[in-house]
Structure 1
């Protein structure tokens, strides 16, 4: 242990003492605080005095008190050691040091840790090693693809595993991945997939058709598997040979290849039981360490699509920090050489209700009153945030507009040829969606509050305190502070309870709450994302929904996968969302965007749906003047 670490250890033992204040203590107590023998304690104390950090007048004999005076403040000592560790690239030791400090000091040190994120290029005996460090604030509960529901978890799963099919967001089509090709019968009830040859799992096993069968039989055999409804069309799985697998379905499913691109459809090896915190896949990165504060992904050199450029990815667990983002970016990029990447998040923040609990939330009038109180435009204007936009759907406006254009073109084409097969209510629903895709007029606070008050009076609400669970975090908690003020104006009593989304998803944290305020992030495949939201049982919307409504959603989604036309599928899912909004079971608040900033040397920096750089594309263009041994390329990556 370095001498300054001994000093920090001793200084923390006297937290209430000021610098230059005399402290009366025994030699035995000092040895105990330093966790060493009397002899070593004397050596250490003399080193402290040689550095000018303390003054010490030892008094020997049983019960006799020595006089100790500190001169070096704890924060200054911790900062000095912290900086030494960072300079030596000992990020983990720096993190441990910071985490042992009192709260205010810990926050200051952790802010300094932000500057360590991005890409670091080091030269050692193995050659050049490029390491990308990413911060994240939500702990990992599981990396089982059939269970994981948190953004960060899904981001890791995307790198560790592959699926039979991958979705190309730029072309908006499904493309081969582990499967080189697939085909189906005319009715969409039998699907056959042909696998690539020679694909290796991280532990060396060659992928074959039995691994595919094992993966999906594992899902179907677990009645409580949250992703089981997504694959409930599967009746039987056959392996025709080592590279061919056939799925026989219970009913037509024209979305089956899309479902095979779902994270839940990640292929597992059959020769080993899945460890949910240390999974084994075929992806470009293998998980080599998973500690509560650090998860490490190392490149998989034998990846069948070619070795990834980045050698190592470190995901660091950081506490939430109140540091303003612009200050972080200024500190990271003092020369102004950052390049920004705007990431428009598909999905958004919303409120729903705990329909598994008795209470006023079972009353439509009550839910509609809350809907008026949660007016998106008024919230966004009141909170004055530039990175958010009022939303009346979890689907971004441009996506709706694109779909409406496609639908209009299709309708015109259908009128010239043959009628389109569609429900009788199509014209009404079409009009409703046209209206929903446009910004609503801005209501005054008085009008929305007046409507909320009238609806509340018509409801069964009787003055009880309603518990509001909110996903913890500065912004969303501020949203609910604004909401609570609005509630008070019309006599609705609420108590806001911030909570960890991990505990809410996996440990039923909000079962006693009445209202839930959270968010949903979709990936690039919008139709599949909506379908997953309504069928994957670990989404917060479904955790809060009663069994009858969940069954109704599952039945609706079963109808969706039987639709051959892709545009019609999305239309049906958007109508389903609108129905939830009309029933005031889903109250969209706003959509948001994230801004990544990165050094100009990081090339092809693209953000994936879950807020992580696309590791399969990212590479480094080192400057000719970069030091031969080490290069540092900072990146500001918003906390997950």
Structure 2
């Protein structure tokens, strides 16, 4: 079958039942084999009824070949056999080599392989969770990783000194069993659990903690250096006690220790950003461009996770229809739906590192009027989204702002934002030049920018919209030449820490677009916030900072969104945590007593990264 597909691809412009005049030598060249082997292969093809072959003898004479079996049929049969044999990587490679239209058909078949698969073999039962994703991994270094999927992997491979309990909204022990500070908040001492193992077999100690943070604060270009800029030096008293001496009071220090950026590394292994070693419930055993594999770490100090293996597959994003995939996964309707309200949201900002009209406040305010969230939601039929005036899901605040907007004179309500945008644009320094807009690629956000471009045309603002890959934007400075940026930010459960991270972690798209002077101003704000002892007051201060950024039209929130997960009823304790992943530390499968097969599948639909 592989030979037939290879030969049929060589004549992909030829229809079935169409005569091809060729020689056995030419065919052998296509399959890189001898003419003797080619004759044997042709006989096999004829035995299967895939071809008709009329060989001609004599120099210069051509034979007649007719394909009877279509390429799509052949590839589909081979693809299905690979799936049945659990050879997903080979199936994916086969689909990737096919023409676009055929590849999309095959990829939909591949989707049915995702979810949890429970196998009984010689070594007992093995439960494997397969997850599709569409954003390539650039780094798994916890001090640099920014993309949603990358941080999800970091969360499984590493632990931190502290963990944040979102339900109780408090910091709780993790690698550290306890901690304390002096009254001034300038010295913090952490006491480590005994017997915690790294994935390579050595026990964690205080020197690993010191190494982790000295690696950050000694590197001038580390993107999370500002987040831990309060650290002056680190002391270890014994193998289980470590003290941080700070430059200024920091009453959020335990919260910072719960950040993914604060994941603890082993000091005795040269760090590999694509094959990191941690203490987490899963260890990374494979990282191929098409497949990343996490295997359960049996010696995990909090107890072995239930799921034995997690496979994350890189899939082509082109033309995928997720609703159809989800429907195909659950033909019998045996699914439970979970609504995950994502903290953070979609926003527009400006490249303040580049000269252009965006440096003018009136220009930014004109764009702010054009990007009116209510008008966008009214014009576009987006599902699962809600107009937002903040990146924090605070219904009361949104309601107040909506009421304030709703109090405008009704005579201007229909076109007021366009009229105001036109007035502000005329007051600005805009001189008719084309404004380049970078938008994070994806159907929904590209639709937003098509609507925005139409609004711009109505007031004489010329824009050119270019979709871009956020991986390239973050790690390769893709949007340096653009004036306007349209993207999104996803927070974890600790909203206050997420806001601080957005304003201090230099790999966030918001900060990458900000000029150095404003970055320094945000760092000063950061110092002020962490010196506040009351957590409610810290949050209010950060919300005031966000409001100032919105008033200066540097941050233009548009909408928040939710995701819908669906999973088979046999998957128990399915809870969605930050970054859209099910909580692998809690997930387990209740296999039915009536299951007789050695293999059982439990579909799960996890929105693609």
1:356 matched to which residue of 2?
Answer: 353
Question: Matched residue of 1:116: which SS?
Answer: coil
CA–CA separation in structure 1 for the residues paired with 2:58 and 2:473? 58
2:422 matched to which residue of 1?
Answer: 453
Match of 1:271 among 222, 244, 268: 268
Contact map agreement 2:158 2:263 (CA 8 A) in 1: yes
For 1:72-471, list aligned pairs within 5 A: 72-398=69-395, 401=396, 435-436=400-401, 440-441=405-406, 444-471=413-440
1:496 matched to which residue of 2?
Answer: 465
* 1:467-492 deviation line (CA, Å, top 9, x unaligned): 11111111111111111111111111
User: Deviation at 1:627?
Assistant: 2.6
- How has the CA–CA distance of structure 1 residues 28 and 193 changed in structure 2, closer, same or farther, with 3 Å as cutoff? same
- How has the CA–CA distance of structure 1 residues 519 and 60 changed in structure 2, closer, same or farther, with 3 Å as cutoff? farther
Question: Matched residue of 2:310: which SS?
Answer: strand
CA–CA separation in structure 2 for the residues paired with 1:61 and 1:387? 70
Match of 2:595 among 590, 609, 626: 626
Question: Matched residue of 1:122: which SS?
Answer: strand
CA–CA separation in structure 1 for the residues paired with 2:58 and 2:521? 81
User: Deviation at 1:614?
Assistant: 0.4
Runs (4 or more) in structure 1 with deviation over 6 Å come to none
Per mean C-alpha deviation after superposition, the further-off stretch among 206-215 and 490-499 is: 490-499
Match of 1:637 among 585, 606, 609: 606
CA–CA separation in structure 1 for the residues paired with 2:207 and 2:345? 39
- How has the CA–CA distance of structure 1 residues 43 and 169 changed in structure 2, closer, same or farther, with 3 Å as cutoff? same
Question: Matched residue of 1:194: which SS?
Answer: strand
CA–CA separation in structure 2 for the residues paired with 1:139 and 1:302? 30
Indicate whether 1:538 and 2:507 are aligned: yes
CA–CA separation in structure 1 for the residues paired with 2:504 and 2:310? 32
Match of 1:39 among 16, 24, 36: 36
CA–CA separation in structure 2 for the residues paired with 1:434 and 1:20? 67
User: Deviation at 1:445?
Assistant: 4.5
User: Deviation at 1:63?
Assistant: 4.2
CA–CA separation in structure 2 for the residues paired with 1:504 and 1:606? 31
CA–CA separation in structure 2 for the residues paired with 1:364 and 1:143? 38
Indicate whether 1:566 and 2:563 are aligned: no
Question: Matched residue of 2:479: which SS?
Answer: coil
User: Deviation at 1:23?
Assistant: 1.4
For 1:466-545, list aligned pairs within 5 A: 466-545=435-514
Contact map agreement 1:165 1:178 (CA 8 A) in 2: yes
CA–CA separation in structure 1 for the residues paired with 2:389 and 2:111? 35
Contact map agreement 1:397 1:437 (CA 8 A) in 2: no
TM-score (norm 1): 0.93
CA–CA separation in structure 2 for the residues paired with 1:377 and 1:62? 77
CA–CA separation in structure 2 for the residues paired with 1:338 and 1:187? 53
2:51 matched to which residue of 1?
Answer: 54
Question: Matched residue of 1:17: which SS?
Answer: coil
CA–CA separation in structure 2 for the residues paired with 1:539 and 1:39? 61
* 1:139-179 deviation line (CA, Å, top 9, x unaligned): 00000000101000000000000000000011110000000
Contact map agreement 1:236 1:247 (CA 8 A) in 2: yes
Question: Matched residue of 1:19: which SS?
Answer: coil
Question: Matched residue of 1:56: which SS?
Answer: strand
- How has the CA–CA distance of structure 1 residues 592 and 62 changed in structure 2, closer, same or farther, with 3 Å as cutoff? farther
CA–CA separation in structure 2 for the residues paired with 1:627 and 1:438? 60
CA–CA separation in structure 1 for the residues paired with 2:375 and 2:177? 50
* 1:182-201 deviation line (CA, Å, top 9, x unaligned): 00000000000000001000
Per mean C-alpha deviation after superposition, the further-off stretch among 52-61 and 236-245 is: 52-61
CA–CA separation in structure 1 for the residues paired with 2:30 and 2:505? 52
Question: Matched residue of 1:361: which SS?
Answer: helix
Question: Matched residue of 2:128: which SS?
Answer: strand
Contact map agreement 2:382 2:444 (CA 8 A) in 1: no
User: Deviation at 1:321?
Assistant: 4.4
* 1:113-135 deviation line (CA, Å, top 9, x unaligned): 11111000011111100000001
Question: Matched residue of 2:56: which SS?
Answer: coil
Indicate whether 1:552 and 2:521 are aligned: yes
Alignment gaps of 5+ in structure 1: 405-432
CA–CA separation in structure 2 for the residues paired with 1:87 and 1:58? 37
- How has the CA–CA distance of structure 1 residues 62 and 179 changed in structure 2, closer, same or farther, with 3 Å as cutoff? farther
* 1:301-322 deviation line (CA, Å, top 9, x unaligned): 0000000000000000011143
User: Deviation at 1:512?
Assistant: 0.6
Question: Matched residue of 1:510: which SS?
Answer: helix
User: What's the C-alpha RMSD, in Å, of the aligned pairs?
Assistant: 1.4
User: Deviation at 1:436?
Assistant: 3.7
Question: Matched residue of 1:511: which SS?
Answer: helix
Question: Matched residue of 1:481: which SS?
Answer: helix
Contact map agreement 1:137 1:320 (CA 8 A) in 2: yes
User: Deviation at 1:439?
Assistant: 7.6
* 1:504-524 deviation line (CA, Å, top 9, x unaligned): 000000111111110000000
- How has the CA–CA distance of structure 1 residues 9 and 189 changed in structure 2, closer, same or farther, with 3 Å as cutoff? same
User: Deviation at 1:5?
Assistant: 1.3
User: Deviation at 1:330?
Assistant: 1.8
| Aligned residue pairs, count | 605
User: Deviation at 1:619?
Assistant: 0.1
- How has the CA–CA distance of structure 1 residues 487 and 225 changed in structure 2, closer, same or farther, with 3 Å as cutoff? same
Question: Matched residue of 1:594: which SS?
Answer: strand
1:29 matched to which residue of 2?
Answer: 26
Per mean C-alpha deviation after superposition, the further-off stretch among 579-588 and 79-88 is: 79-88
- How has the CA–CA distance of structure 1 residues 440 and 6 changed in structure 2, closer, same or farther, with 3 Å as cutoff? farther
User: Deviation at 1:45?
Assistant: 1.3
User: Deviation at 1:397?
Assistant: 2.2
Indicate whether 1:581 and 2:525 are aligned: no
Contact map agreement 2:347 2:558 (CA 8 A) in 1: yes
Question: Matched residue of 2:353: which SS?
Answer: coil
Indicate whether 1:17 and 2:14 are aligned: yes
